[in-house]
Amino acid sequence: MAVLALSAACLLVMVTLCQGAPTALQQGTAYYNFYDELAQSICTAAAEGPSFVFAIRRDCRAGGPTCAEICTTRKDAMRGSVYNQGSTSECFDALHVYKRRPVLAPNPSGQTDVGEVGLATYRYFLSGCSADYCGPNYCCCLVR
């Protein structure tokens, strides 16, 4: 039991050091931004072959940089976060993660909100990498 308590304490310290002090909502979890985590999960699942995968936020406005541009210009930052591994970067997908969706009830011991619509995303696939309109709000980038 002491090891479990120590592990939980270590996790909280790591979360605090890596992501800042958790808020009341975040206390005791590794959660820090649900939309970023959702986008990262989708991009990682969509990637083919060995690579470092990144979901990078994109400003959803006409005339903003495309995901292809974002993935290219952020190459050094992506490489830096994985100890300068890889040499090339590219966009391979783009997403729109819809925000302000209904919050469904927790269901740790039963099925609540069955049949209710919750989260929503749209995948643009490769064509989203060149989108210069308000559509994709996350770019799926990879470094190899």
How far is 97 from 2, CA to CA, in rounded Å?
A: 41
At 108 the pLDDT is 85
23 has a pLDDT exceeding 90: no
Express each pLDDT in 95-133 by its tens digit.
999 999 998 998 888 889 999 999 999 999 999 999 999
pLDDT tens by residue, 31-58:
678 999 999 999 999 999 999 999 999 9
Report yes or no: 100 and 3 within 8 Å, Cβ to Cβ. Answer: no
According to the model, what pLDDT value does residue 16 have? 32
Q: What is the pLDDT of residue 31?
A: 64
User: To the nearest whole percent, how much of the chain has pLDDT over 90?
Assistant: 66
- Separation of alpha carbons 90 and 74, rounded Å: 10
pTM of the model: 0.77
Alpha-carbon distance of 64 to 30, in angstroms, equals: 32
Answer for the pair 130, 66: CB distance below 8 angstroms, yes or no. yes
pLDDT at 134 over 50: yes
Between CA 13 and CA 123, with CA 52 as vertex, the angle to 5 degrees is 100
